[in-house]
Amino acid sequence: MENIDTKSPNHRILYVDDENALLYATQRYFQQEGGLSIDTAGSADEGFRKIGAIRYDAIVSDFEMPDMNGIEFLSALRSGGNNTPFIIFTGKGREEVVIDAFNAGADYYLQKGGHPKAQFAELSNSIQKAIENRKVKDEIREKNAEIEEKNRELTKKTDELRRNLDELEKSRNQLQESEQRARSLLDSSISTIVLLDRNGIVLDANDGYPARFGKKRVDIIGTKVWDLFPDAIRKQRSAWLKQVFLTGKPFKNEVSWDGIWDYSIDPVFDTDGTVKSVTIHATDITQRKQMEDEIRTSETLYRTVVEDQTEFVCRFLPDGTHVFINDAYCRYFGKTRQKLMRAKFRPDIPKEDLMRITKMLQTLTPAHPVETIENRIVMPDGTIRWQQWSDRAIFDKNGSVMEYQSVGRDITEIKNAENAILAANNKLNLLSSITRHDILNQLTALLLLEEFLKEDITEEQPSSYVDAIIDVTNKIEEQIQFTRDYQDLGHIKPAWQDLRIVADQAGRQSLSCNIRTDIDVNGVFVYADLMLEKVFQNLYDNAIRHGETATHIRISFRNDGATGIITVADDGIGVPTNKKQKIFDRYTGSNTGLGLFLVSEILAITEITIRENGVFGEGSSFEILIPEGKWRRDTESVPDLQSGNT
C-alpha cells in the first residue's frame, strides 16, 4: 500500500487499547487527517514504558483491558504525578463507569459507536481541547497557589486566636457542666440514692429519695437519715452502715419495707484509702416480684402448649433474663434448661444484626406489639446460620414492656438458596456486560476498516484490510457462541448433584471422549449451580487443547478437614508457573480466553473456588475447593468408573 502524505503533526498522542485492529484503524485515520502524531500501545504496561521514554501531549485509552483497565491506568498515572491530558475512549457507557473516570481525573469520556469518521473527528477535537484546557489550568494553578499561601498564613493566625478564645470559654464552663451532669444522672435514676457520712448524716440525695417520705431534697440535707425510719428499721440499717465503714466492702440485700427493694450500700474512699462516706441505692422491685410470681404460676400451662413445637420458643424480661424456653430452643443452642433459665443468655449475633434487633424491639407498642425479623447467629463451631423470629412485646396496664415472647425457626437453607440465585443473576449481568463490550469493540474496528477498504479499493492487494476484517469477524463469532453456551447460567437455583454422574456425562460431551478418563469420586454429592457439568467439560477440553501430550485424565476427591477437594489432573505439559494466577482471567488463553473464566464464575455461585497446583512439564492439576455444608458423602451411590471413555 502506498504511503499517504500528511501534515506536519503539532502534538504527539499515545493511544492505548488491547484491540490491535482498532489501534491500526485509529492510527491510519490520523495519518490521513494530519495534525496529530499517534503512537499506540496494546496494554497499560506497554503504555507505561512509552510514557517513561517519551513526553506526550495527551493520552487516549480504552476502559476494558487485560491486567489493568483504563481507569486503573489513569489512577496510576495521576498518583505518580503525571498530569498529561487523559481521554477515556471505550464501548462502556454505564453511568457509574463515566463517574469513576472523571473522579479518577479523566479530561474527556467518549463512547465508541456510530459513524467512524464522525467519531474520530470528535476524538480529535476532544484531544485538542484537553491540551488547551490543561495549559490554561496550569496557569490558573500557579496563581491559585500564590493566593492559597497567603490564605494559609491568615488562617493560621485566625485559628490561633480562635483556639485561645475556645480554651477560655471551655475552662469557664467546665465546672458548671460537670455539676449539671452529676445532678442529672442522680435525678434520672430509677433508684433512690442518698450519700451519708459515718454518722448517718445526709450529705446529698437525688429527688427520688426524699420523695419516698413525702419530703424535698432541701428538707433532709444535713439531717440524720435514721429519723425517717421506724425503730426496727433504723437499728438494722445502722448496723449495715457500720459494717461497710468498718470493712470497706459493699453490702447488698433484698429488703421488705413499704414494698420490696433491691438495696445496696457502696463505700466512697478518700485519697488515702479510708472510707469517707457511703452511697445507698434502693430500687423498688415490688412490681417485678409480683410479675415473676404470676409468670411462675402460668408457666406450667404455657409449657404444655409450646413444649412439643419444632420452632424455638422463649420468653425473656427487658433486661434479657430468660423466664421460659422450650426443648427445641435448648437443643438448637446446645444449652441445658438449667443453664438458660433465670439467666441473661444472648446468642453470638453479628454487631450489625444486633443493632437491627434492638431497634426493632424499641418500635413495639401496645398498638403494634408484634414484628418479624431475620438475623444471623454465630454457632459455637464458628458457622453462620440464619434465623427468622416473630417477637411479641407484652405490656402492663401503663403501657410499659413487662417481657418479650419470641418464636423462631432456622432458615439457613432458604437463605443459601436466595443468595445463590442472587449471585447467579450478578454473574449473568457480568457476562452480558463482557459480551456487549467485546463485540462493540470489534464492530467499531470492523466499520472503520470497511471505510478504509472502500477508499483504497483501487489498490491491487488490499490484503491487510481483508485479513483484519476476517480476524475481527471470527472474534465476534466466538463471542456470540460463548454467549449462547452460557445463557442459562444461574436461571435455576443450585441443587445437590452426584459428582460421579456429572463428571461422567461431561466426559461424553467434551473433546476428551477418545482419551482415557478415570473417575474416582463415588458417593460424593456437591451443592452447586446446575451448570456444574460445564465446569468439568471445560476442564476436559482444556487438557486436550493445551495439554498437547495428554493421554490420561483422572478425577478424584478428598477432604481437608471441613473442606472438600475435587482434583482434575492430566499427564500433559501442564501450566507454566508464571501463568497459574492468570489462567482464570477472562482475557487469558490461546482459544477464546473464556472457558476457565466461566469455570470460576459457575463455581463461585455457591462459594466454591478453583486453583491450579500442577507441576509444569508433568501435567496440570486443577483443585476445586468446596466449603463446609456444600458437599456430602453417600456410601449407597453406584460404583466408580475406572475405565476410559470411548
Q: How far is CA 276 from the centre of its chain?
A: 55
**Whole-angstrom Cα distance, residue 411 to residue 321?**
25
**Whole-angstrom Cα distance, residue 187 to residue 201?**
20
Cell of 575: 501450566
Res. 610 pLDDT band, cuts 50 70 90: very high
Residues 6+ apart with CB under 8 A from 331: none
Residues 199-216: what's their mean pLDDT? 86
**Whole-angstrom Cα distance, residue 608 to residue 591?**
25
Q: Which residues of 352-389 are buried (b: 16+ CB within 10 A; e: fewer)?
A: ebbeebeeebeebeeeeeeeebebbbeeeeeeebbbbb
Q: Do residues 440 and 114 make contact, with C-beta atoms less than 8 angstroms apart? A: no
**Whole-angstrom Cα distance, residue 333 to residue 310?**
14
Per-residue pLDDT for 246 more than 60?
yes
What are the helix (H) ranges across 189-216? 208-211
Lowest mean pLDDT among 168-182, 235-249, 456-470, 547-561: 456-470
For 88, 167, 178, 277, 480, the CA distances from 93, given in Å and listed in that order, are 11, 54, 59, 75, 20
Lowest mean pLDDT among 88-97, 309-318, 349-358: 88-97
- Side-by-side strand order, sheet with 370-378: 322-325, 312-316, 401-410, 384-395, 370-378
**Whole-angstrom Cα distance, residue 363 to residue 361?**
5
The chain-wide mean pLDDT, for the chain, equals 81
**Whole-angstrom Cα distance, residue 237 to residue 258?**
15
Q: Do residues 294 and 317 make contact, with C-beta atoms less than 8 angstroms apart? A: no
- Reported as a single tens digit per residue, the pLDDT across 425-440 is 666 666 665 565 566 6
**Whole-angstrom Cα distance, residue 212 to residue 224?**
16
Q: What is the CATH number of domain 11-139?
A: 3.40.50.2300
Q: What angle do CA 598, 604, 606 make, to 5 degrees?
A: 130
For residue 264, what is the DSSP state? E
**Whole-angstrom Cα distance, residue 501 to residue 641?**
9
Residues 546-566: what's their mean pLDDT? 91
Lowest mean pLDDT among 254-268, 329-343, 446-460, 537-551: 446-460
Per-residue pLDDT for 370 more than 90?
yes
Strands 275-284, 260-269: pairing is antiparallel
Element (H, E) at 33: helix 20-33
Q: Do residues 630 and 499 make contact, with C-beta atoms less than 8 angstroms apart? A: no
pLDDT of residue 291: 82
Q: How far is CA 91 from the centre of its chain?
A: 28
State the amino acid at position 61 in one-letter form.
Answer: S
Res. 644 pLDDT band, cuts 50 70 90: very low
Per-residue pLDDT for 620 more than 80?
yes
Q: How far is CA 261 from the centre of its chain?
A: 49
Residues 602-609: what's their mean pLDDT? 89
Q: Do residues 57 and 12 make contact, with C-beta atoms less than 8 angstroms apart? A: yes
Which phi and psi angles does 72 have, rounded to 5°? -65, -40
Which phi and psi angles does 279 have, rounded to 5°? -115, 130
Q: What are the residue ranges spanned by the domains of the chain?
A: 11-139, 189-284, 288-410, 494-633
**Whole-angstrom Cα distance, residue 126 to residue 29?**
15
Other beta carbons within 10 Å of 98: 17
**Whole-angstrom Cα distance, residue 82 to residue 135?**
14
11-139 matches 189-284 in fold: no
DSSP E strands: which ranges in 307-383? 312-316, 322-325, 370-378
Q: What's this model's pTM, rounded to 2 decimal places?
A: 0.38
**Whole-angstrom Cα distance, residue 59 to residue 78?**
12
Res. 454 pLDDT band, cuts 50 70 90: low
What are the helix (H) ranges across 34-115? 44-53, 70-79, 95-104
Q: Which residues of 416-438 are buried (b: 16+ CB within 10 A; e: fewer)?
A: beeebbebbeebbeebeebbebb
- Reported as a single tens digit per residue, the pLDDT across 288-306 is 888 877 777 766 665 666 6
Q: What is the CATH number of domain 494-633?
A: 3.30.565.10
Res. 536 pLDDT band, cuts 50 70 90: very high
Q: Which CATH number fits domain 189-284: 3.40.1080.10, 3.30.450.20, 3.40.50.300, 3.30.1330.60?
A: 3.30.450.20
**Whole-angstrom Cα distance, residue 520 to residue 538?**
19
What CATH architecture is 288-410?
A: 2-Layer Sandwich (3.30)
Cell of 366: 401496645
DSSP E strands: which ranges in 451-506? 495-498
- Helix, strand, coil tally for the chain in percent (to 5): 45, 25, 30
Res. 551 pLDDT band, cuts 50 70 90: confident
- Reported as a single tens digit per residue, the pLDDT across 11-42 is 899 999 988 888 888 888 888 877 788 999 99
- Among all chains, which residue has been given the C-alpha cell 483556639? 163
Per-residue pLDDT for 227 more than 80?
yes
pLDDT of residue 198: 87
Residues 6+ apart with CB under 8 A from 254: 260, 261, 262, 263, 285
Orientation of helix 463-485 relative to helix 20-33, angle to 10°:
140
Residues 6+ apart with CB under 8 A from 143: none
Q: Do residues 529 and 494 make contact, with C-beta atoms less than 8 angstroms apart? A: yes
Lowest mean pLDDT among 54-58, 155-159, 279-283: 155-159
Residues 314-341: what's their mean pLDDT? 89
Per-residue pLDDT for 465 more than 70?
no
